Amino acid sequence: MGLLTGLLGLPLAPVRGVLWLAEQIRDQAEEQYYDPARIRAQLEAIDEARRTGELPEQECAELENALLQRMMSRPGGTAGGPAQ
């Protein structure tokens, strides 16, 4: 039965490979999106833009709040902790 299932499932192997690759890409993107070091760097860039007058205070506050929310709402784990 295992051989027959394997042979019948062989045409689906490329689809499974694409799905696996899509999951890997999604995992990497989420890891980068929720990376605390990356978020801190973005917060520093916002602070610099505030000091130089590139961004108004209200926009800086909104961007900072969004970044802090992202840092605290990491899916699959706690803020700053590894995803599970």
Question: Does any domain span residue 60?
Answer: yes
Q: Looking up tokens 């840092």, which residue turns up?
A: 71
Residues 6+ apart with CB under 8 A from 77: 83, 84
pLDDT score, position 41: 96
Range of the domain at 28: 23-73
pLDDT score, position 83: 45
Q: Count H helices, E strands: the chain?
A: 4, 0
pLDDT score, position 77: 54
Residues 55 and 46: their CA atoms lie apart, in Å, by: 8
Question: Does any domain span residue 1?
Answer: no
Query: Number of folded domains in the chain?
Result: 1
pLDDT score, position 46: 96
Question: Does any domain span residue 65?
Answer: yes
Question: Does any domain span residue 17?
Answer: no
- The predicted model scores a pTM of 0.66
Q: How many other CB atoms are found less than 10 A from the CB of residue 74?
A: 20
Contact assessment for residue 64 and residue 43, using Cβ atoms and an 8 Å cutoff: yes
pLDDT, tens digit, for every residue of 46-82? 999 999 999 999 999 999 999 999 989 877 655 444 4
pLDDT score, position 1: 56
pLDDT score, position 9: 81
pLDDT, tens digit, for every residue of 1-27? 588 887 788 888 899 999 999 999 999
Question: Does any domain span residue 12?
Answer: no
Question: Does any domain span residue 45?
Answer: yes
